[in-house]
């Protein structure tokens, strides 16, 4: 075992493609980060296998800020202490206790299930986009439950493109600060396992194939295609890695990250 870095920050995204929230601690379960991508909007114009409306179609989604109405219930599983003592399964809060309110770009606050929110999201979209709200007990991620991205990769892309590189473009759950100065060093973790903090074990399964989402400024939504072009040309279209949680537990900002095998 060797310590290869530490957790720089932890993030979850209560509504798919909307703004994320930074956390001091988060529960990593088999289905993903607790409270991550719990909601999404289904579009009738999207493929069956990927039915979501995302910032690919509606950039302003990134400027909507979701917040859990009852932050204490959304912090961690309701029976976590008991579950850890008894070896039982962690249990999510009741759906009514995991309701989300969304602050819109113009400062209004609407419940996630308010029809007025769907009306706003459909603005400037083709009429073929009929939207319905989705809710899931597991994270509605693009691929695997947990995404990891290093600060060093963001720094290398900044050097390669000659522009500032906000790490939030990459919408990871766990941003790590590696002991190595080398960008894209996380590629070497594929098919290996990481222990994050005292308990959580994540097996890294694959590199993260990137799309137009990384070209969008997380604050202004301004598009810069040069970022995706560089990732495609220099890094096979990949940036960051995806993993599956093998041992559940709490993650904390500053936790050490160990390579187990």
CATH number at residue 68: 2.40.33.20
Average pLDDT of the chain to the nearest whole number: 94
Token output for 190: 């594929």
CA 147 to CA 111: how far, in whole Å?
27
Lowest mean pLDDT across 75-89, 119-133, 177-191: 75-89
Number of structural domains in the chain: 1
pLDDT of residue 245: 96
Strand intervals (E) in the chain: 2-12, 21-23, 25-29, 32-33, 39-43, 65-68, 100-103, 109-111, 131-135, 146-150, 174-178, 193-196, 200-209, 238-247, 249-252, 256-259
Give 244's DSSP letter.
E
pLDDT of residue 1: 65
Q: Tens of pLDDT along 170-185? A: 999 999 999 999 999 9
**Domain extent at residue 108:** 2-259
Q: Which residue has the higher pLDDT, 236 or 78?
A: 236
Average pLDDT of span 112-121: 95
Q: Tens of pLDDT along 187-202? A: 999 999 999 999 999 9
Residue 186 three-state SS: helix
Q: What whole-number percentage of the chain has pLDDT above 70?
A: 100
Q: pLDDT band for 261, please (50, 70, 90 cuts).
A: confident
């Amino acid at each position: 075992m060797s310590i290869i870095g530490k957790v720089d920050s932890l993030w979850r995204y209560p509504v798919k493609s909307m703004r994320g929230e930074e956390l001091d601690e988060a529960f990593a379960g088999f289905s993903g980060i607790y409270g991550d991508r719990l909601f999404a909007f289904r579009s009738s114009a999207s493929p069956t296998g990927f039915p979501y409306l995302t910032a690919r179609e509606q950039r302003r989604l990134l400027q909507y800020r979701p917040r859990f109405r009852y932050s204490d219930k959304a912090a961690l599983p309701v029976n976590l202490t008991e579950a850890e003592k008894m070896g039982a399964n962690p249990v999510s809060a009741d759906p009514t206790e995991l309701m989300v309110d969304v602050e819109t770009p113009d400062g209004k606050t609407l419940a996630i299930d308010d029809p007025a929110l769907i009306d706003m999201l459909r603005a400037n979209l083709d009429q073929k986009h009929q939207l319905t709200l989705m809710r899931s007990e597991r994270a509605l991620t693009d691929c695997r439950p947990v995404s990891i991205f290093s600060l060093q990769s963001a720094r290398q892309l900044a050097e390669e493109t000659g522009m500032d590189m906000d790490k939030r473009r990459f919408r990871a759950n766990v941003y790590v600060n590696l002991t190595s100065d080398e960008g894209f060093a996380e590629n070497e973790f594929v098919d290996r396992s990481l222990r994050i903090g005292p308990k959580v074990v994540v097996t890294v399964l694959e590199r993260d194939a990137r799309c137009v989402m990384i070209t969008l400024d997380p604050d202004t939504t301004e598009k810069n295609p040069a970022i995706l072009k560089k990732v495609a040309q220099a890094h096979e279209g990949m940036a960051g890695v995806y993993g599956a949680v093998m041992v559940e537990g709490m993650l904390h900002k500053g936790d050490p990250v160990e390579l187990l095998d």
